Structure formats: C-alpha cells, structure tokens
Structure 1
Amino acid sequence: MPSNRRGRPLTTAFFLLIAAYIFLFQLPFIHFPWSHLRKPIPVINHDARKDNIHLTDARQIYPIKSTIELPTSPSPLPRVQHEFEPESRFERKERLHRQRVVKQEFLHAWNGYKDHAWLRDEVNPVSGKFEDSFSGWGATLVDSLDTLIIMGLDDELELALEALEQIDFTTTFSSEVNVFEIIIRYMGGLIGAHDLTNGKYPILLQKAQELGDMIYHAFDTHNHMPQMRWKWSRSAIGQSIEPMRNTNLAELGSLTLEFTRLTQLTGNPKYYDAVQRITNELDKSQMKTSIPGLWPVSIDAMRLDFTGSEFSIGGCADSTYEYLPKEHIILGAQTDQYEKMYIRALDAIKHNLLFRAVTQDEEKKILFTGDLKVDRRHGNIIQHSSDHLKCFLGGTVGLAAKIFNRPQDLTIARGLTDGCIWAYDSMPTGIMPESFLYTPCEEMDECPWDEKRWYESILRQPLKQKKDLQEAQQIIASEGVPPGMGTAQNTAYKLRPEALESVFYMYRITGDKSYQDAAWRMFQNIEKSTRTKYGHSSIEDVRDPISNMEDKMESYWLAETLKYLYLIFSEPDVVSLDEYVLSTEAHPFKRTSGFI
C-alpha cells in the first residue's frame, strides 16, 4: 500500500488553521489592530417631547458678588496604598483569570447597551428596550467611559467618543434635571476619562465644561443653594428658581469633588465657589443639629434649616460623609475644614450609630450602623437596620484612617467591610439584600453567640412563652433568615457596588488577599443570579436562587460595580489611590499632590 505522508500534513495544517480561527475570533474581550467595529445605531426616543429651548444665554438673577477662590498650593499627603510584595506565578495566573472573566461580563453588558440603547440612558437587560432615567443624554455611555479606558477597550472608547459629539447638554426633554445624579454620572464620567488619558481627548473636558455651565444655573437662587430637582426651562427663559424645602443630605453635600476638579482643570473659579458655599453651611450647622456631628437626612435648603429628626449614613445621606476625606485629598490638604468635619462626623457615628452584630463567627468583629430618630417626648429611637448603600462606609473610614493618620480607625473599617461580606455570604444566593435588620450585641468588645437574643430580635420583643419561641422559629423558616440576621426589609439586589467598593479599598490599603477571594465569591454569585440576554438585571429576592428579574440595569453597574471588581484583580498601580481619588460614582480624578 502506498504511503499517504503528503496528505497527513495537509490535513493537520487544515485543522490547525480552523482551530486558530476559532480561538482568535471567538474571544469576546480581545480587539485586534485590524478589526473595525461596526458603528452602533443611535436609538431614538420617539416619546420624547421636541423642545426648542436651549439653556445657552440665560442670565444670572442672583449673581455672585465675591467669589471663593480655589486654594492653589497643595501639600503632600500620607501614602494610602499597601506596599505589595511580588506575587507568585500561581497568584498572577489566578488573578488574571478572574480579571478576564470580569472584563467579559462588562463587555456582555456593554454590548447589550450598545446594540439596543445606544445614546439612551439605560438598556432594559431582559426585554432589550431602553429607559431615559437621567435626562436622556446617554448616561450609561458617559458613565462607562473611564471603565473602557481602564479595561483597555480602545476601539469601544473611540466609538463612545464619536457618539459624545452628538450629546447636547444645553437642552433636554426632561422637565426636571436631577442635579446630583447628572453631576456624579455625567460630569464625573467625563472628568474621570479626561484625567485617565491625561487630556488626550479635548472633547471630554469640553463636554464637562458645557455640562458644568448648564448645571451652574441650578445654583442661581437667593441663597445660592441649588434646586436639586431643577426646573431648568424656567432658568432658560429668565424666570427665578428657589432651593427645595425638602432636600436630602446626600444630594446637597455630594457635589464638591466634581465641581472642585472642574475648577482645577478649567481655571474657572465659579464651580468651586458654588460647592464651597454649601460646605460652609454644613460646617456652620454640624454641631448645632439634634445629634451634633451629624446632619439630618432631610434639609430645608430654602431656609437653611438643619433641624430634622432622622439621622443615618445610608441612602439619602451617604455620599456627603464619603466626600469629606475625598475633598480633603483633591484639595491637597490645603485646608483643615474637611478633616475637622470628618472627625466630628465619625465621632458622632461611633457614639450614636455604630453597633456590633451578634453572629456565629465570634472571632470577627462584624459591624453595622443603624438609623436614629430623635423623639423629644419618648427618647431617641434606634432601628438596627443596615442597607447596601451603607456598605461604602468601610472603605471611606479606611481611606480616612490613612489620610488623616488615624490607624486606630482601621479596625472599624475592617469590621464594617467584614459586615457586608458576611451579609453576602449568609444569604442563600450569596448576595446581600437591599436592606435588613440585624441583632445588636450588648457590648462592642465581648459578643458571644446568643440564640435567644437572635430570636428576640426577630420578634422585636422578649421570649416569654414557648409559643414566642415557636413563632420566631416559624418566621426564620418561612423567610429564610440566616443566623444573626433579622428579617429582610427589602429583599432586592439592585446591582449595587458599595460592598465591593469597600472590599477594593481594604484590599488596596491592607494588602490582605482574602479580600480578593471575597470579591470573587461575590462576583460569581451576582453573575449567576443577574445575567440576562442583554446584560445583567436587578433581582427581586436574594433569598430565591431563581428570583424574578426587574429588567433594570443602572449605569453604575458598568461605571462602579464591574470597575471595582476589575481593579481588585488588577495590578495595584492601576488607578493607584496614591495618584487618584475616586468619586462616589468611582470616577478617578487625578490628585493635585503626591504622598509623603
């Protein structure tokens, strides 16, 4: 029989070519220099009102008479990041694998947005429809710009920058503009992308200033406090506006970082002046509230009335406290105002809101904060309730402990971060609920597991009879309550980043690689429960492994949650905390000073 030696190499070569083709072109996260991405087609909102009003030549009704100038001589600050030792070959391989998987999930969500909601605010990840939740300027596109840069998705970035040309920040179909959300998502996204690329793309700063000039009109009130749900068309046609009688603390106090950085980049002092006026009012009132050191959740911005009775560091309050150390950093420690305000606030939090939770893991000091309502007649009422939005606090306390040289506070930072990790690990899906009750310890230092105390916290009353015990056990069984946790007040998961945010900070600050493992567990569980055809969706019930989906994917999923995950598995010098300060929407702003 004649030999078939020539045929075999040809067959082998053919199969090798096929294998190479599959490998090269099926990887979703690799872009090759010869590739040409198809331009996405902008999705038109046919229900939007067609207005011809543009806010371009509006006059100031209450012009500023004397501008507060930006400090311009920054000082070095203490180092924030841990000095990491070289990783082993195995550690590097595992870290890069995790990073690639996170990037793949980002691209899955980004492509869902790009294909079905381009230049709209959000894609509905289950139905493939879209929403315009934030004035219709393409919130997901702008919010994700710096994530594209960090992940090295240069081709996608070019598409986004080209689309940015089509966004007109001088007009919107929305009757009201949510000033807080617009600043943190849009302005933050533009500035973060500008700073990461060292000003390579002029359009980023150009659009940030265009937006800043528009939003600046929301501050044109009799006391220069912004109208947070701004009726922008009134300003456009020369009518006056007033601050809101019911303004939440987070919205009013969380504009400093973005506006300060915009002044630093443009040289125009008006942006810094606008937010520093708010800070000065917060400073004056801080020790005069019902709980000195803390501000009430609701503020009358029209009358500058800080006499509200409800106090929390959760939703509607959170980022005001977060921005105290961060504004100190972006200003390069040129004033001690923000440091003093932070220390007052933390002392008040420790005295009034901080609790250790009763858990079966007695070795860890699991910490949460509660909510307080001042009642002059019956005494203050504490609710031992935690929510996902409060999970930012561990990272903020850790960052401030380094910046303000308060190493004793790192124990609190770790306890708060561990509390949120515990809440994730305790649930059947491995995902923390939006809000839940917990069982407080009697003492901070000694807290043995106490099943009776747990039952009583479930019932919210002492165990007096056998039927009380049976009732508590029935609630635990029917509602799937894990040991130590109380009932869930809101069982949803809204793709929130705050727990992973604190994990990121504590990993970068301490170098403890157990935080990487915790982040990987959290990510895998989130991905398993939330992945959809067009992205990832909020879910209704973290107790249910096959929970209903809410068909909602906010822009912060790509701007924050997946970014924090990617950075946890990146080299420590990628967006180093000694070079950047991250906004409340995780946008990296270049620091004006180095470190000691």
Structure 2
Amino acid sequence: MLLRRSWSLWAALTTCLVVFFYRRRATESVPTNPLIEYINPTSTNDKEFDWAKRPLNFPLQNIIHLPNRTVLPLPRIQYAFKPNYGAAAEENERRREMVKSSFIRTWEGYKNRAWLKDELRPISGASVNGLGGWAATLVDSLDTLWIMDLKVDFAQAVGTVEEIDFTRSEEEEVNVFETTIRHLGGLLAARDLCGETTEEEHWKEVLTEKAVELGSFLYAAFDTPNRMPITRWKWKNARDGKFQEAYTAVLLAEIGSMSVEFTRLSQLTGNPKFYDAIQRVTNRLEKAQELTSLPGLWPVVVSPMEEDFGDNMAFSIGAMADSTYEYLLKEYIMLGGRSMQYREMYNYAMDTAREHLFFRPRTISSIDILISGNRNVLSGTSGVLDPVGQHLSCFAGGMLAIGFKVFDRPDDLDIARKLLDGCLWAYRSMPTGIMPEIFHLTPCPDPENCAWVAEPHSEDPKNFPEFFDIEDKRYILRPEAIESLFVLYRITGDETLRDEAWKIFEAIEEHTKTESGNAALSDVTRIPAPMDDSMETFWTGETLKYFYLIFSAPDLISLDEWVFNTEAHPLKRS
C-alpha cells in the first residue's frame, strides 16, 4: 500500500521543496563578487527596454551553431493513404464540422468575455491571467484558427498580437517553459502556416517580429554563470542587470523541453544564440544520462545550478518529465537528422523506459494493454515500480510510434499501440467515458500470464474493481490520449482509431460543454460529473486541434512535413 502511494507522496514533497526553494531564493541578497560586472541599463522603463540589445552578465566565449552536415532524407512517417470516398468520408466530414463548431463556440466565448486575458472561466464567464498576461488563449489558438480555415478570426487575432508587448509581463515571475511552448510555439507555428499572398506575407512578418521579441526576452533567463536557464524567472532582475543563477531544484520537463522552439527561431532568424542556449542544456543531459540511478532516464527533479542531473530517486516519463523525452525525438527531426546525439539519447531513454516503466495491469477481461508507470530507485538497486497511470503519460504511444518510423525500432509500434489501448481502456472504464487524471492499478507479476485476481481495493470494488485507487478524479480537458490517437492513425491508417476518437469527443462534449466553452471536471467517476470553472488554453490549442485533424484529410499538417511541439503547435521541418 505504501509503495503504491509512494509516487504521490514523493511528488507532493518534491513540489513543496521546489516551491520553498523558489521563494527562499527570491529573498536572498545578491552576492558580492568583484568578478561580476553588473549592468546598469540606460532605461528601466519596461516598454522601452530592448532585450535583444541587453548586454550579458556572462558573455559566451564561443557559440554552438546549428549542425550543417548533409544526411540522407528521413524515413517517411505517415501511412500511404488512399482517397477516402463514400459514406465514411461523409461521416468524418460531419464529425470534423462538429469539432469545429465546438471550437467556434469556445472562441466566441473567449472573444466576448475574456479577450486579451489568458483564460476564460467557462461557467461564470469571468477571465483570469496567470500565464504572463499575454492573451495566452489567443496566442495558443492562432494555428487552430488557421487549420480550421477561420481566416477572418485569424487576421483579427494577428492584428491583436501585433499590439501585445512581449518585453514585459504583469507577472513578477514568468514560467519560461510554459511561455516557450504556448506563446513562442504558437507564434512560430502561425508564422510557418502562412502562405505567400501579400496579406499572408504581412502576417508572417508580424508573427516573426513578435516571436523574436518574445524569444529575446526568454533568452535572458539563460544568462547565468553556467548558462543553465532559470525556469521560474523573475524577469525584472535580468532587466535591471542583477545577478541571477539557475536554481538547485527544478522539474526535468521545464528545463529539457525548449529545444524545438528555440531551434526553429534560430532557423528562421539565422541567429545561432537561441539554438546555443538549448544545446548547452542537451549537452549537460547527455553527460548525466548514464550516471543516474536509472541509467538512460533522468529523475523528475534535477539541479541545474549544480549541474547535477542525476541525484534523485524518482523516474517517470509522465508528469514533471514527459516532454523532455518527446523533444529528443522531435529535435532530431527538426534538425533534419543532422545530430546523432538526439537519436542516441532517445534510443537509450526508451530502452530503459520499456524495461523499467511500462507494465501490464490486471483487468477482468485480461486485455493486453500497457501503462507507463513510475519507478523509485534506491541506491544500488533497480528500484520499485509504482504502478500509476496518468493522463499526461498518454502521449507516449504517439511518441513511440513516430520513433518506430524515424529510428527503425521495429518492436516499438506494438508497444505504442498497447500504451494507447491502455489509455482507451481507462476512458472506457469510467461512467463518463473520460479518463481520470491519476490512478493506480495492479501490475501483472507475469505479463504473459495475467489472469484476473480480485484484491482488496481502496476504491469501491463494486464500481471500479480493477482500480486499486483513483487518487485524482479530474479531467482538465487534456489532449494526450487524443494526440496519440491522431499520431497512430496517421502512421497506421487504422480507421477504427477515428471511431475511438469520436466516442471520446462525444463524451467530453456531453459532460464538459457550457454556453461559452468547455469546463474541466472534478470527478469523472460520477454522473453528472461536477464541473470546475476552468478551461486551460490547451483545450483550443491542442485537444480540439487533434480532434479536428484526425477527422481531416491526412495531408492537412502531414507528419512528414511538420513537427508538433508539446503544445500541438506545428513547426515546419527544415
């Protein structure tokens, strides 16, 4: 029982530690160091500060450039689809229009009630900031507007983006990771989608200018003694030339998941500094990869200030770690296969994950599925499996399927499908038809002989006999399961995956729909499911986009031409 809950307990303690550390660091005085030259900007007026011209406290002695060696073309990723005619095509077009209608209702709610705010409260109609105050839902939805052919709204949104000041934030502290994946990724994707007409060229110029403005702002978070970024960044310290350094405890996902966006910015501008910034992080991760307690994987909490990426006991590819692994694969594709470093790191990580994290749970039907769990490792041991299921981990099926194609890993497609099937099983197991955020299952002692055996459960065994516990019963409009459905469909051509996606969409609409949007649920095990007055930007930025694309023609944002960042923003492959 203790081991089954150990991840949740550890995660809570870790969160407290990280929050305490961030707050403690904010109260410490600037150290006296005669070797450090402090900057006194000519102006500290937020709106007049030019981050691109800001002198560095710690100037680079050399800069890492984008790799330029020639390689053979990458393998084809998408299935060789044939034209889809007849009743099936008509049905998928109907489904796609239903998804589009849901987006339009949400977009109109945001425009009318929360314009220029970060998020809409979908029940009360109120608005809220918390993601920099830079109209996060608007920026996160730019490419969705384009993909859904809502060009009038797209033009209005781009005009509004032109007026957003990305040189300052109303927040004292900026989450560099979230800003990178939502805002910078959103700007870059919208820019890449624009065509060649005069109007579209203008939009492209605007979006490029704003991406550079925001990228220059974020780049200052890397201006530390060892060039490791400050992930929860008090940006005014950098503006005012104060000493800053990376923290001693940060989440792996927040430091390891900015490569795709910064690389694309360097590719578009020709300025190597953005790529240099993230490549230094990758190099440090590579050095630590075989030295951790579970070689191949990094713990979910690392220390960039001390450049210690291995001294922790908890490992996962779910919450707090997920996109770091995803970006190894996607950065390799973004670089056109020009860096074997990312290929080798990805293969090492997935080999370890397959051996130590993926498990088959006991189910009444003995269905052959996999769940991506966590592992707690004590010194000198291979650790103990924590058989936890997380909605966040459902991205792994899609990741492994792309890796199967790009890196010629023949066994990974079967594993990818079983991981997806595990998430679909969790959706079907709830009365709402919607998967909960976090739950625990009973792993099979032998994956080849996994007969159902009833065991004592903390949940009501009458209602959820297969679930040892459902610790977090929420659904916060997450996209990860839909993402993997979309990717597996595009790779295998399996039409049944579209049907599975439609069942989930109908369940989500039934239980989350409000007048002006869709609301998170606090308990998917109950009907009616209680709603929370919350709608994350990824509802329009990711979830609805993936639903729309799975019912669209396969050449709309082909995986052979685009790379999706972890916020579902498609970036053009070089």
TM norm structure 1: 0.85
Corresponding residue for residue 578 of structure 1 = 560
2:157 to 155, 160, 164: 160
Structure 2 stretches lacking a partner, 5+ long: 1-43
Question: Structure 2: how far apart are the matches of 1:196 and 1:445?
Answer: 47
Q: Deviations over 1:156-182 (max 9, x none)?
A: 101101111210000111100100000
Partner of 1:197: 194
Q: Counterpart amino acid of 1:475?
A: D
Instruction: Please say if 1:180 is aligned against 2:177.
Output: yes
How big is each residue's C-alpha offset from its partner over 1:307-336, in whole Å with a ceiling of 9 and x where there is no partner? 111111111100001111110000000111
The answer as to 2:63 corresponding to 1:67 is yes
Moved over 6 A (4+): none
Using the alignment, how far apart are the partners of 1:84 and 1:407 within structure 2?
21
One-letter amino acid matched to 1:373: N
Instruction: Please say if 1:373 is aligned against 2:401.
Output: no
Write out aligned runs for 1:280-295 (5 A): 280-295=283-298
Matched, 1:58 2:47: no
Aligned-partner SS, 1:589 = strand
- Indicate conservation of the 8 Å contact 1:391/1:417, yes or no: yes
Q: What are the superposed Cα offsets for residues 144-198 of structure 1, whole Å, 9 maximum, x if unpaired?
A: 0000000000111011011112100001111001000000000100111111114
Deviation readout 1:391-436 (Å, 9 max, x if unpaired): 0000000000000111221000000011101100110000000000
Report the equivalent of 2:16: none
Please name the residue that 1:490 is paired with. 472
Instruction: Give me the whole-angstrom Cα distance separating, in 1, the residues matched to 2:365 and 2:213.
Output: 52
User: 2:206 & 2:247 partners in 1: Cα distance?
Assistant: 33
**Counterpart selection for 1:312 from 316, 321, 329:** 316
Amino acid at match of 2:302: I
SS in 2 for 1:140: helix
Q: 2:130 touches 2:171 (CA, 8 Å); kept in 1?
A: no
How many Å apart are 1:382 and its aligned residue?
A: 2.2
1:28 maps to what in 2?
none
Contact preservation (8 Å) 2:293, 2:379: no
What corresponds to 1:279 in structure 2?
282
Matching residue of 2:302: 299
* Identity percentage of aligned residues: 47
1:357 and 2:342 correspond? no
How many correspondences in the alignment? 520
One-letter code aligned to 2:46: I
CA distance in 2, matches of 1:351, 1:142: 39
AA partner of residue 582 (structure 1): F
Larger CA Rg, structure 1 vs 2:
1
Unaligned runs of 5+ in 1: 1-50, 460-473
**1:107 pairs with 99, 104, 109, which one?**
104
Tell me the CA shift for residue 546 of structure 1.
1.5
**Structure 2 CA distance, aligned partners of 1:318 and 1:379?**
21
2:382 and 2:254 map into 1 onto residues whose CA distance is 29
Distance of 1:229 and 1:302 partners within structure 2 = 13
Q: Give yes or no for contact 1:429–1:529 (8 Å, CA) kept in 2.
A: yes
Query: Is 1:245 aligned with 2:240?
Result: no
Q: Is the partner of 2:371 in helix, strand or coil?
A: strand
Question: Does 1:230 find its partner at 2:233?
Answer: yes
Deviations 1:66-103 (A, max 9, x none): 00010234541000001112223100110000000000
C-alpha deviation, 1:65, in angstroms = 1.3
Letter in 1 for 2:83: P
RMSD: 1.5
Q: CA–CA distance in 2 between the matches of 1:357 and 1:225?
A: 39
Seen in structure 2, the aligned counterparts of structure 1 residues 583 and 379 have a Cα distance that, compared at 3 Å, is closer
Distance 2:78 2:448 in 1: 28
Contact 1:58 1:237 in 2 (8 A): no
1:558 and 1:339 map into 2 onto residues whose CA distance is 31
Q: Does 1:540 align with 2:522?
A: yes
Q: Deviations over 1:483-539 (max 9, x none)?
A: 433221100000000000000000000000111000000000011111112200111
When residues 399 and 379 of structure 1 are mapped into structure 2, their CA distance, relative to the original with a 3 A threshold, is closer
Gap change, CA 1:75 and 1:272, over 3 Å in 2 = farther
User: What's the counterpart of residue 5 of structure 1?
Assistant: none
**Match for residue 399 of structure 1 among 402, 416, 419:** 402
**Letter in structure 2 aligned against 1:411:** D
The secondary structure found in structure 2 opposite 1:224 is coil
8 Å Cα contact 1:58/1:235 also seen in 2: no
Q: Report the counterpart of residue 476 of structure 1 in structure 2.
A: 461
Deviation at 1:548, TM superposition (A): 2.0
Partner of 2:506: 524
Kindly tell me: are residues 445 and 88 of structure 1, through their superposed partners in 2, closer, same or farther at Cα, counting changes over 3 Å? Answer: farther
Letter paired with 2:343 = E
Per the normalisation by structure 2, the TM-score is 0.88
**How many angstroms apart in 2 are the aligned matches of 1:160 and 1:511?**
34
Paired with 1:296 and 1:189, the residues of 2 have a C-alpha distance of 29
Using the TM superposition, give the Cα deviation of residue 375 of structure 1 relative to its aligned residue in structure 2, in angstroms. Answer: 2.5
2:119 aligned to which of 122, 136, 155: 122
Cα offset for 1:378?
9.1
Residues 463-502 of structure 1: per-residue CA shift (max 9 Å, x gap)? xxxxxxxxxxx8323xx31x43322110000000000000
- SS of equivalent residue, structure 1 residue 488: strand
Does the aligned pair in 1 maintain the 2:292–2:299 contact within 8 Å?
Answer: yes
Please say if residues 74 and 331 of structure 1, whose CA atoms lie closer than 8 Å, have aligned partners that are also in contact.
no
